[in-house]
Amino acid sequence: GETASIGEQIDYTITGIEPGAGTTELARDTLEEYENLEGWNLLESSTAGMLGALEEAVKNEEPIIITGWTPHWMFTAYDLKFLEDSKGTFGGSENVNTIVRKGLEEDMPSAYTILDRFYWEPKDMEAVMFDAQEVPFEEAATKWIEENADKVAEWVEGVEKVDGDEIELVSTPWDTERASGYVVKAVLEQQGYNVTLTPVDPAVMFQAIATGEGDASVAPWLPSTHASFYEKHKEDLVDLGENLKGTEIGLVVPSYMDIDSIEDLQP
Ligand code: PBE
């Protein structure tokens, strides 16, 4: 008989992550935009659930399609590929930006200057995430700061120290943002700030900065992943631009699967 199609083998289901993730929103759009994905479903669960399903599939060399992103250790642990996205529904290569509440520049000029200067490369973020598989993120961040004292010195050069001023950083609950969040937290603490770092859903993060409940975030993935939240709140926040360039999200499969593009999937 005929070999079952990939769709039949995986029950026309894409293994997704948290309902509140930007990736989930763009995956829902993707299912609507591609006619060949009619009848396909997105399983919304959690990052841990997705990674568990991925591990299981790879172990058995079975087909699986996940919503994935880079930087992430999944690409080092397994041989994976992004499916080509001819309609661009996942937005291609993007960045992580820094946003702050209105008035922060006047209220906390030292923190504002450091946040404005904060910029690093995917390899830096990956180093923190790699170490954090063995030690807490806080420790991995401190180690990175020690090993990159030159870079950190540029961020804080000429910045006046403060005496315990409180600053609220808002972030999201993924490792990429744990890495950046803990690094920025530690740098601000060295400068005398009393820092809280709170992980929330992306929608809540943007809202917190727009209402001034939170002071700053280094976690927005733009211009695509968090586009809808950004559009909603952009008039009420200050965008300080990229702090990292070259992230990507999309549909991801193990390399042993014989497809390359979202359009290869059959309804
Ligand atoms: N992520 C990681 C997040 C942002 C960082 C791609 C899973 C998302 O909102 O989709």
Q: Give domain limits for the chain.
A: 6-91+249-264, 94-247
Per-residue pLDDT of the chain (267 residues; tens, 9 = 90+): 467 899 999 999 999 999 999 999 999 999 999 999 999 999 999 999 999 999 999 999 999 999 999 999 999 999 999 999 999 999 999 999 999 999 999 999 999 999 999 999 999 999 999 999 999 999 999 999 999 999 999 999 999 999 999 999 999 999 999 999 999 999 999 999 999 999 999 999 999 999 999 999 999 999 999 999 999 999 999 999 999 999 999 999 999 999 999 999 999
Which CATH superfamily, name and number, covers 6-91+249-264? Answer: Glycine betaine-binding periplasmic protein; domain 2 (3.40.190.100)
Kindly compute the dihedral angle of the four CA atoms of residues 115, 120, 122, 123, in this order, to the nearest 10 degrees: -140
pTM, to two decimals: 0.96
pLDDT of residue 2: 60
Q: Could you tell which of 75, 221, 224, 248 is best to mutate to test the pocket of ligand 1, judged by most ligand atoms within 8 Å of the CB?
A: 221
Give 217-262 pLDDT, tens digit per residue. Answer: 999 999 999 999 999 999 999 999 999 999 999 999 999 999 999 9
Q: How far is CA 215 from CA 66, 107, 137, 237, in A?
A: 34, 10, 21, 10
Query: Residue 171: exposed, middle, or buried by beta-carbon count in 10 A (0-12, 13-18, 19+)?
Result: buried
Q: Could you tell which of 129, 172, 230, 251 is best to mutate to test the pocket of ligand 1, judged by most ligand atoms within 8 Å of the CB?
A: 172
Residues with CB under 6 Å of ligand 1 are: 17, 21-23, 69, 172, 174, 176-177, 202, 221, 225, 249
Fold of the CATH domain 94-247: Dipeptide-binding Protein; domain 3 (3.10.105)
Give 113-144 pLDDT, tens digit per residue. Answer: 999 999 999 999 999 999 999 999 999 999 99
